[in-house]
Each structure stands twice: as structure tokens, then as C-alpha cells.
Chains A and B, each alone.
Chain A
Amino acid sequence: MPPTTVLPAPEGTLAPPTWRGQLQSSLLGSRAAPDTPPAPVVHTSRLRDRWPTTAALLRLPGAVIGLLLLAVIVGIALTAGVFFPGDPLDIVGQPLLRPGEDAAFLLGTDHLGRDIAAGLAHGARVSLLVGLTAAGVGVTVGTLIGATAGYFGGKVDAVLTWLIEVFQTTPSFLLVVVIVSITQSSLEVISVVIGLTTWETVARLIRAQFRALLSSDFVLAARSIGFGHRWLIFREILPNALPPVVVTASVMVAGAILMESSLAFLGVGDANKVSWGSMIGGGRDMLRTAWYLTVIPGLALIVTVFSLNLIGDALIEAMNPRLRGGAR
């Protein structure tokens, strides 16, 4: 490990605000002030000017590693049908071949003679699909509820906050288990249910953002011009409230993938689809003799969740102008 350390920039070394920044802050309030770039910018790239967050993100090694890993997994998921045509649940060879024992099955076969490599590739599809669907549902529901609560306040806020608290109190994994066993354990239902039980984080976040932004000058300006509620919510406040949600969304994708794998491991998942969790669950009985049945899909799961968490962590750093300044 090299001894080089990245020291956070002391508070005093931030460049003095330029005239533009001063004008901006006097016109728009202090909100616009801290984002002004320091005066002596040596390596100015167009990317950094237009998309400061993306540029800062690509400068972080964690983000690059995470994005690359995720790209590989997405690539595997997209090409699963090409390299492994047919149902991955089909019996294709001798059971319990160790990895490397047979060139046709590079990662071996399970206790029923199903190709592990095919299972991994198709499992990537399932995991990503569940993760994206659940996070999409969760973010949408959470945003709508949080925005309504934060914007209208009063009784509406009281009722919605109560709803948020109820869902926050109920253990979400148990709730998903209950709902999935009451309805049906198809992959689509599982994804949506995971989204419907994890929206409250986003709702709380958006609500707090709305409450903070509601009294800011640009909202007041738009309101005094005479824009209606819908315009104010969706065109003025929401775009400014969304950035922290991006971080939460990446964590939610990771969380949903973990949750689906736990469900499948416990045997509550979709029995007609191969999933990393169900592969681990299937290999569990042969833990002593055929450990690779549990180790290999487990590693795939870790790499996927790890890459998403890396991206989420890097996003926090990249979107915070203070940290961005320190990393330079």
C-alpha cells in the first residue's frame, strides 16, 4: 500500500469567489455561491465544465472500477442467450462435475447436471432485472409520496408521514416474504413487491428536500409569477431535490438484488427462473462435498452488489462540491 494520502483541503484554501459568483449569490441568494469554481483552473476539459459531477465521478478509482465491473455483468446478462441458448434449468450433462473437469462445462455442473456457467449468465439477467424494477418502483412511489407530503404539508403531510412510519416500522424482508407467499412468487411480482416495501427511504429524503427547497427564492419567484402546483412540483423543486435520490437508487438496486437472492435462497422465489440465490440454496445440501456449488454463484452476487455500492459511494463523493474540491 503506497503511503500517499489524500488530504482534505483545509477550509481556507478555497479560492475567493469570482465576480460572477458574487453576482449570482447577490441575485439568487447564498445557495448559488459554493458551487463557483476556483479561479486558477489549469486543466480545463469540456466534460468538466458541462458535467462536473460526471467528470468528478470518472476521476475516482472506485467509480471507474465499479462501472467497469457493472458493465461486464450487464454484458454477460445481455449475451446470455447467445452463449448459453436454451433453458439454464435443463439437464445437459453429468451431475456434479467439478469446475475445469469437463471443457464443455467450464464452471462444472450441479447435482442435477445443469450447467453452472449458464445458470450464472441467466442469473445475472434475473438479478439486474429485479434490481432495476424494484428500484424503479421504489423511487417512483417514494418520490410521489415524498413530494406530495413535502409540498402540501399540513394534514396531507401528517397522513403520509404516518404511512411512511408504518412502512419503516414493518420489517421489509418479512413483509416481502408474507406478500409474496400470499400473492404469487413470479419474478415480476417479487420485483414490484420489493419496490413497494422499500419506497419509504426515498419518500423521507424527497420530503425533507421539498421542505427545505419550498422556501427558497427560485420557488418563491416561480410561485409569484403564477405557476400552478404541478409546475412547481415537477419543474421547479423536483429537479433540485433529485440528486441525493440518485445515490439512494444505486443502493436500492443493490439491496433489491440481495433481497431477491435471499428469497430465492429460502425457496420463496420464482421456481421457474434460475437465480443466483436459488443456485446457492440448491448447493447448500452438498456444502461438504461440492462447495463450488455455493461459492461460485455467491461470488457473482458479491461482485454485482460490490460494484453497485462502489458506484453509490463514489456518487456521494462526486456530488458533494466540498469533497470534489478536496479530491483535486
Chain B
Amino acid sequence: MNDVSLSPASPWRRLLATLVAWRRPFVRALPTAFGVVVLNFVLLQAIPGDAVDALVAEAGSATAETTALLRQRYGLDKPPVAQLGDYLGHLAHFSLGYSPRYDMPVMDLILARLPNTLLLMSMALGIALSLGVSFGVVMATWNGRWPDRVLSSIAFLLYSTPGFWIGLMAIILFAVQLGWLPSGGDATIGAELAGWAKFGDTLKHAVLPAFTLATFYIAVYARLTRAAMLDVRTQDYVRTARAKGLHPVRVTLRHVLRNALLPLTTVAGAHIGGLLGGAAVAETVFSWPGIGRLTLEAVQAREYRVLLGVLLLSSFLVILANVLVDLLHARLDPRIKGN
């Protein structure tokens, strides 16, 4: 490292320091990532029949010699530990195997569907956070009075309702009765749209599935925000802020809410996994072509490699989300930097 020439205030040094500080969450995530890979490998081993059986079944028939040769070629006759090594090697090359039914690499198949699911999830998370936090603020501000009671009841009901059922009811109301929004798919069939018009069309199709996915989390965030705000409200610095004559709205938003949101970021990161599971259901209800639908198609087609590929990538997505939340936390809460 030749950084003798760099002065202490140099931007390069600052960048280096930031990178070093950012390294920690990534390093901490490594054992978990390895564990996820092992879990997936174990599941892969548990599948009845292997890739060669599937190939042979697709081909119709094969002799015992051919299957043995194929096994040898794909390394399936090696001991499990060696196979785990092979599996890790493939993963290092971003390969999840090949899907005979779709006739394309599993990774490409998933990556083609992933943007749709990410769009759905980010929309749902945005809706859930904005609506949930605003509900929570209203509930905490009017704690025990009718706005709190009404919203608490609604949140509790949403909390107890399965997402797919809400989706079906939304189809009945908004698509069938009112005709405001499309009931499924990701684009208007036959409409040759491009650019912004296409984007707008996609968004219109995403509204109902995203809301369906969001409902449960709206309830969760509303309840969490309410509880956290009621907790923070009794702190000394809030009393100080009030005593120095700040406007109540300012106290609520700047002093109470800001600190109440901190625990929320932790949970929101942990909810990425739940959102991925929920997306499978929402995508099925609204025929949204994402990885959730792909999962279900893979189940029906018994395409285990696709199935496990989705599981593995989903887990990595959760790990990535957790790392980002860690970084965000370090920025938001200066106390964390100390350790």
C-alpha cells in the first residue's frame, strides 16, 4: 500500500476509511451466507432422484451405462463433501445449474423475473412504511381516543387477514365492480406501449398486488410506530423540547418520531424475507410474472433446481437487506459506531 503521499485530509483516505468501516457488516454476514448455501445443498441432496434422473426422464429412456456415464460427467458419483465443493464452485461462477424444462440456465431464468418482484416488493414496502408510520403517528397522538381506537381496530383486522384473500376482495371491488384497475398481469395485452407510457402501464398493474402485499405490514408498522412513540414520549428530552416552547407538531415529528423510527428500520430489514414469501402469493393472485410465480411453476413442474435457486437468491437478498440496514443504523445512530 503506497499511501505515504496521502495527507490525512485526502479524500482517498476518507474513502478508504469509509470502506473499512463498511466492511464489517459484510464480513459479519459471511458465516450466515455459508450456512444458507449449506442448507440449500442439503435440500438439493434430499431431492428424490438427481439431475441425471430428470434428464433421463426427459429423454424417454437410457441404458444403465449411459446414466452411469452421465453421473460421472456431472460429478454426481462423488462423495457429498466433494459435491458441496463443486456446488460452491458453481456458485462462485454465479451458476445455479441448468433447467431442462425452460431450456435455459436457472440463474438467467431467475434474473429475468427478479426485477418484477423487486418492483412489487419495493412498492409494497414503500406503501407499508408510509401508511403504517402515518397511522402509527395518528394513533399515538390521539392515544386512547377514537382515532386511535378506529385505526387500532383496522390494523388488528389487517394483521389477521390473509393477503391472498385481501387481494381477491380487491379484485372484486376495484377490477370487477368499479373497473378502475386491471385485475392481473403486468401489461395491457395488445397495447404497444413504450417509454413512460409503458412504465405507467406497469405501475397501474402493480398497484393492486403491491397493496395486497403491503396490508399485513401496514398493520405491523402502525402497531410498532404507535408503541415506540408512546415509549419515546415519556423521555426527558421530549419534555425539554416541550418546555422550551416548541410547537407540538414539531416535537412529535422531529423529536418523538425520529427516535421511534430507529427500531422500525431493524424490523423492516427483517421483513424482506416475509415480503418474498408474500410475493409468491400476491403474484399468483394477480398473475404477476415474478420469481414468486416462477416458484409455483417450478413446484408444479418438479423443477427442483429452479426452486432451490429461488430460495438461495431470496436468502441472499435478505442478507443484503440486513447488511444495508446495519449500515443505515450506523449512520442514524451515532451510539452504534462506538463498538
Contact = CB atoms under 8 A, between A and B. Distances in A.
A181 interface: yes
B35 A163 contact: yes
Contacts of A310: 156
Interface in A163-177: 163, 165-166, 168-175, 177
A228 to B, nearest CB: 32
A306 B156 contact: yes
A306 B155 CA distance: 11
A171 B162 contact: no
Contacts of A170: 36, 39, 273, 311, 314-315, 318
B72 to A, nearest CB: 25
Residue with the highest number of chain A CB atoms closer than 10 Å, among B163, B164, B300: B164
Nearest to B144: A5
Interface string A259-295: 0011001111000000001001000100110010011
A175 B295 CA distance: 11
Contact of B277 (A165, A174, A287, A291): A174
Interface in A129-169: 162-163, 165-166, 168-169
A174 B164 contact: no
A306 B154 CA distance: 12
B149 interface: yes
A166 B318 CA distance: 11
Interface in B162-209: 162-165, 168-169, 171-172, 176
Interface stretch (A46-54, A206-214, A297-305): A297-305
A254 B165 contact: no
A137 B72 CA distance: 40
B164 A169 contact: no
B299 interface: yes
Q: Is the interface of B mostly helix, strand, loop or mixed?
A: helix
Given A170-B273, A173-B277, A182-B46, A306 B311 contact: no
Interface string A290-328: 010011001001100110011001000000000000000
Contacts of A116: none
A184 to B, nearest CB: 10
Contacts of A266: 280-281, 284, 296
Contact of B160 (A168, A174, A302): A302
A301 to B, nearest CB: 6
B156 A171 contact: no
A257 B47 CA distance: 26
Contacts of B146: 1, 3
B212 interface: no
B311 A172 contact: no
A6 interface: yes
A5 B145 CA distance: 7
B83 to A, nearest CB: 17
Interface string B312-335: 001100110010000000000000
A82 interface: no
B162 A262 contact: yes
Contacts of A68: none
Contacts of B171: 287
Contacts of B48: 182
Interface stretch (B97-105, B130-138, B250-258, B302-310): B302-310
A179 interface: yes
A46 to B, nearest CB: 32
A307 to B, nearest CB: 9
Contacts of A163: 35
Given A266-B284, A306-B160, 8 more contacts: A1-B150, A166-B39, A170-B315, A177-B296, A178-B308, A258-B162, A280-B164, A287-B172
9 contacts: A5-B145, A169-B32, A169-B319, A170-B273, A170-B315, A177-B280, A177-B296, A177-B307, A309-B156
